[in-house]
Amino acid sequence: MKLIFEISVKGRRAFDLEESKVPSYTLKQTRSDYAELPEVAEIDVVRHFTEMSRNSYGVDNGFYPLGSCTMKYNPKVNEVIAALDGFNNVHPTQCCKEASGINEVTETLIEKLCVLSGMDSMTLQPAAGAHGEFTGIALIKAYHQDHGDTARTKIIIPDSAHGTNPASANMNGFEVVTCPSDSEGGVDIEELKKLVDKDTAGLMLTNPNTLGLYDKNILKITQIVHNAGGLCYYDGANFNAIMGICRPGDMGFDVVHLNLHKTMSTPHGGGGPGSGPVGCKAFLASYLPLPVFGPRPYDYDQNKSIGKVRANIGNFPVYLKAFAYIETLGGDGLREASQLAVLNANYMLAKLKKEFTVAYDKICMHEFVLSLSDIKEKTGASALDVAKALIDNGIHPPTMYFPLIVHEALMFEPTETESIETLDHACEVMFKIKKQAEQNGEALHNCPVTTIVGRADEVNAARNPILKYEQ
Ligand SMILES: *Cc1c(COP(=O)(O)O)cnc(C)c1O
């Protein structure tokens, strides 16, 4: 498929607007030349974007078990609600009185998310999970500094953690200390005890973790960190496994981020839009970013705040979708969604286990991790090859080579919105690919063969990215 720049013909237009009767006003020009925009007819635009949409794969096309990303189906009605004129046409600087609907949605959403996560206060501002982590760790830093505890320079993070965790700690100026996992896939308690000290600012952890396993020692873990004077941060990206069942606040966590785009009905991927609200216990509330949303909406009068992390109040349409999702499902519905997410994952796991090796063979939460080391050794076909072969069978690959502690990892998260037929079909496809690997492992190196772009050179793409179109 050609780029729209490549079909551009000088002077070609979709349509010309009539000469405007409004007097013209020239903005201060800062660029030396006009932008070189593609020049195309209307039909070219329509065909170009229609073809692009047909060539891309999303939840609306088929099964998308991308572990840790919660690629569930998002009800279309929530998109309609987010697009309502009354919400959509409010200007970000319209004062709170005129925008009382916005305030009500924001306030109610904060209230409900606090109940669900077991937190006392919350900001909705961060634009994604990673941004939430950065904000949450900044709260922990502000707390220690406020208490003159400047020697606390280290954040402890399990070796199964998502890569954004160490990055967020690091961006806040902390040193990252890695805590190994035990043979069960949870935090190694004895190692954790050795790692905590007077220099521990806190711990970052996701539970269930990225192996899809719930850490039964969680109360012990948070206690060990608290006893050493550290605070506990909960990465809530896996919240889809526990909604309405248990709460990070009750597990002993002080700060939490949630990924509304993963758990609460915003289609995601390709860079946005997202929302990563950060909740905290009452003793941290005074450090939350500005403006604080409380009894007085848009309160900028908090001198201990870490400051501003996002323009205005954040990605409001995402809040609306989360609000609509929570209101339509209700408490019982949210719990059921999580229960079904866990059930679907265990159903798939039980089937796949007959032919594949499970990294940690026990009952999982909303996702599970296979290790294809044995298959690679026997057939030469790697986890990457199997993932690419799934594409040829109309299924989006699971998350590959993550978590890092599992070799040849494939991480499946089917989510609650998939039917038993879809799960059965996906398992059958996995068995078929395994058979193909056994017959001719080398052949899978070429997959995918049904897509416009075949096997991409991922190393080269990462090391030498071409980010700009040049004629
Ligand atoms: C997705 C994810 C994140 C980061 O969230 P983004 O919204 O992608 O920034 C953090 N931790 C875990 C476990 C995740 O799955």
**pLDDT at residue 295, rounded to an integer:** 67
| Model confidence pLDDT, tens digit, residues 28-66 | 777 888 888 999 999 999 999 999 999 889 999 999 999
Distance 31 CA to ligand 1 centre (A): 37
At residue 10, the pLDDT reads: 93
Between 23 and 174, the more confident residue is 174
- Please give the pLDDT value at position 95: 63
User: How would residue 353 be classed by pLDDT, with cut points 50, 70 and 90?
Assistant: very high
SS3 416: coil
Compute the distance from residue 159 Cα to the ligand 1 centre, in Å. 15
What pLDDT sits at residue 334? 98
Does the pLDDT at position 311 exceed 80? yes
> Which pLDDT value is given to residue 299?
78
Residue type, 358: V
pLDDT at 293: 77
Q: Choose which residue among 70, 71, 124, 164 to substitute to test ligand 1 binding: the one with the highest number of ligand atoms within 8 A of its C-beta.
A: 164
Encoded tokens for 453: 């772009």
pLDDT of residue 16: 79
Q: What confidence score (pLDDT) does residue 292 get?
A: 81
Tell me the CA–centroid distance for residue 60 and ligand 1, in Å. 22
Of ligand 1's listed atoms, the one at least distance from the Cα of 276 is: 7
Q: What are the domain boundaries of the chain?
A: 1-56, 76-325, 335-462
Residues of the chain with pLDDT > 90, as a percent, come to 82
CATH number of 76-325: 3.40.640.10
Residue ID of nearest Cα to ligand 1 atom 14: 237
For residue 318, is pLDDT > 90? yes
35: Cβ–Cβ under 8 A, 6 or more apart, which residues? none
Residues of the chain with pLDDT > 70, as a percent, come to 98
pLDDT tens for residues 103-151?
899 999 999 999 999 999 999 999 999 999 999 999 999 999 999 999 9
Q: Whose CA is nearest to atom 2 of ligand 1?
A: 237
Minimum mean pLDDT range among 59-68, 114-123, 226-235, 264-273 = 264-273
Q: Examine the pLDDT at 343 and tell me if it is beyond 90.
A: yes
Q: Scan for tokens 């400047």, then name that residue.
A: 150
What is the per-residue pLDDT for 24?
82
**Residue bearing the CA closest to ligand 1, atom 8:** 129
What CATH architecture applies to the domain 335-462? Alpha-Beta Complex (3.90)
> How far away, in angstroms, is 26 Cα from ligand 1 center?
43
Average pLDDT score over the chain: 94
Which pTM does this prediction carry?
0.93
Lowest mean pLDDT among 121-130, 270-279, 426-435: 270-279
To test ligand 1's pocket by mutation, which of 69, 125, 157, 259 has the most ligand atoms within 8 angstroms of CB? 259
CA-nearest residue, atom 5 of ligand 1: 129
Q: Which long-range contacts (CB under 8 A, 24 or more apart) does 103-106 make?
A: 103/297, 105/316, 105/319, 105/320, 105/323, 106/293, 106/297, 106/313, 106/316, 106/319
Q: Rounded mean pLDDT of 195-224?
A: 97
Cβ(121)–Cβ(114) below 8 Å = yes
Average pLDDT over residues 226-238: 98
User: Ligand 1: residues within 6 Å at CB?
Assistant: 68-69, 128-130, 162, 164, 206, 210, 235, 237-238, 259, 274, 276
74 vs 97, higher pLDDT: 74
Supply the pLDDT for residue 266. Answer: 92
Best probe residue, ligand 1, of 160, 262, 367, 415 (max atoms within 8 Å of C-beta): 262
Rounded to whole angstroms, how far apart are CA atoms 231 and 202? 4
Q: Tell me, what's the pLDDT at 96?
A: 67
Length of the chain: 471
Closest atom of ligand 1 to CA, residue 128: 7
Instruction: Write out the H or E segment, with its range, that includes residue 358.
Output: strand 357-358
For 312, phi and psi rounded to 5 degrees? 50, -130
pLDDT at 199: 98
